[in-house]
Each structure stands twice: as structure tokens, then as C-alpha cells.
Structure 1
Amino acid sequence: MKVRIRRELLEYLLQLARNAYPNEFAGFLREKDGIFEEVLIAPNPHAGPRSIFFDTWMLPYDESIKGTVHSHPSPAPWPSEGDLEFFSKFGGVHLIIAWPFTEDSVRAYSSDGVELPIEVVD
């Protein structure tokens, strides 16, 4: 499986990560025709440098949400145990954007933590 994401969305996510630094940010990815095109920012987040918490009950019912994204304000793009637990509850695809928040520091994972290739679509 390859993760396909619009360049415009990827650039926006990188900017969100930079703006949130030194804290994490989180969001939910909307997919259309097999390509991630939009992000829904996590509602009412409580963000810190090592974690972010939000009430998932505040999310709208939205069948186009097929993945999640969050930042790591460190150069480690690998999922933590907490990330893997979260991934297992939401399924789909999960992006982690690590510091220094460049295209090269973005990783995609399946719900069981297996790294997936990313294709940026113009």
C-alpha cells in the first residue's frame, strides 16, 4: 500500500508542525479518490512537547476521514507505544512529522505500525 498525499496538504501539515513547535499538533486526514487532500485539526487539543490529548467524541461523523497526522518535536519519526495504541483505535494511515519538519522527516504507518511509502501528488 502506498500513501498518496497532495503536495499542498503536505506543505500545510509541515507548516502546522512548525507553528506548534515545541509542542505537538494532531489532526485527521480526509481522503478523496485514494488521495489525502484535507486535514481536520484535532478539536480542543491539550498539547505539550511529548504528547497531545483531545476528546475524540468532539469529532464529527465523517466517512472521508481515513487517517491521522501528528508531529514529533524531536528528530524521531517512529511511533511510540502511545502512538501505536492510538493507531489501533483509528485504523487507516498515520503520518508522523518529525523535527525539523521537512518533507524528508515525514513517515507514514499502517494501523499496526508498519512503515508505508509516501507518494506526493501535485
Structure 2
Amino acid sequence: MRRKKVLGIAKDTLKFILEASRSSAPLEFAGLLQVDDDIITEVLILPGTESSRMNALVRLYMLPNMQVAGSVHSHPSGVLRPSEPDILFFSRTGDYHIIVGPPFDERSWACYNAAGERRDLPVLDVQFDDDGFEDDLY
């Protein structure tokens, strides 16, 4: 599978990840990353995802027929390095993997490639298109 280069992550998407992780603590938070116009803009949380203090289990068989750029999960312990099980999971879900930890701010996260090696992921200040979805609710 050919992996597409990602230019960065949207600042608002990173804020969502940090807040969701903070809200989930002391349990792990986990999701998959989706790209729009070469920028990570979405976090997909699959049905059946289970979280505990030690890990999060993402049921990849629940993934709809779509590509993901990678994954995101929290380490409430604050250790931002991937474990061996993390790296095994990384190899199945793309090439951009974010781990966040306390205090869940703009400095408490890291990105890794599928092999578990640290990589740069710029935070980009991008505007999201208004798709009008909220208008359809009223």
C-alpha cells in the first residue's frame, strides 16, 4: 500500500485530541486519524473501542471501507514512547501515530511512524469548510 505524505495536523484537531484524552483519563483514549487535503483533520472513533488504565483496544474490523493516516492514543502515565504492542498496531494503521499524555497541552504529545520512530508533524492553523451539516439538524 502506498502511503501518502501528510503535511501536518490541524490545530483544532490536535485540541480535540488533547481534550478527549484529558476527559478520558485515567483511561486511555484511542482513535484513528483521517486526512483531508493532505492535513489530518478528523479523528475516527470506532464502535466497540474499549479503554482501560493500561491500554485501549480498537476493533479494526469495525473500520468502514476508508483509508486512515494513522492512529492516536493517550498514555495517562505520561510516557510518550510507544510500547511494543503500540508498534504492532501502528504497522496496521498508517504511518502517522500520535501519543499524548498529561498535562494534555500543546507540548505533551509526540508523533511516530509505523516503525515507532519519532517524526515531525507540524501543527497547522487551517480553516475548516462549513459543510452545512449542523444546518440540516434544524
Give the structure-1-normalised TM-score.
0.92
Alignment of 1:18-57 (within 5 A): 18-57=22-61
Compute the displacement of 1:102 (Å). Answer: 1.1
Q: Does 1:92 align with 2:102?
A: no
Q: How many residues align?
A: 121
Gapped regions of structure 2 (runs ≥ 5): 126-138
Gapped regions of structure 1 (runs ≥ 5): none
Question: Is the 2:6–2:38 contact (alpha carbons within 8 Å) kept by the matching residues of 1?
Answer: no
Q: Which has the higher contact order (CA 8 A, sep 6+)?
A: 1
| Aligned residue number for residue 58 of structure 1 | 62
- Does the residue aligned with 1:16 lie in a helix, a strand or coil? helix
| Aligned residue number for residue 8 of structure 2 | 4
Which of 110, 117, 121 is matched with 2:120 structurally?
A: 117
2-structure distance, mates of 1:61, 1:51:
25
| Aligned residue number for residue 78 of structure 2 | 75
Moved over 4 A (4+): none
Question: Is the 1:3–1:108 contact (alpha carbons within 8 Å) kept by the matching residues of 2?
Answer: no
1-structure distance, mates of 2:69, 2:6:
14
The structure whose Rg is larger is: 2
- Does the residue aligned with 2:122 lie in a helix, a strand or coil? strand
Compute the displacement of 1:47 (Å). Answer: 0.7
Identify the structure with the greater strand proportion.
Answer: 1
Identify the structure with the greater helix proportion.
Answer: 1
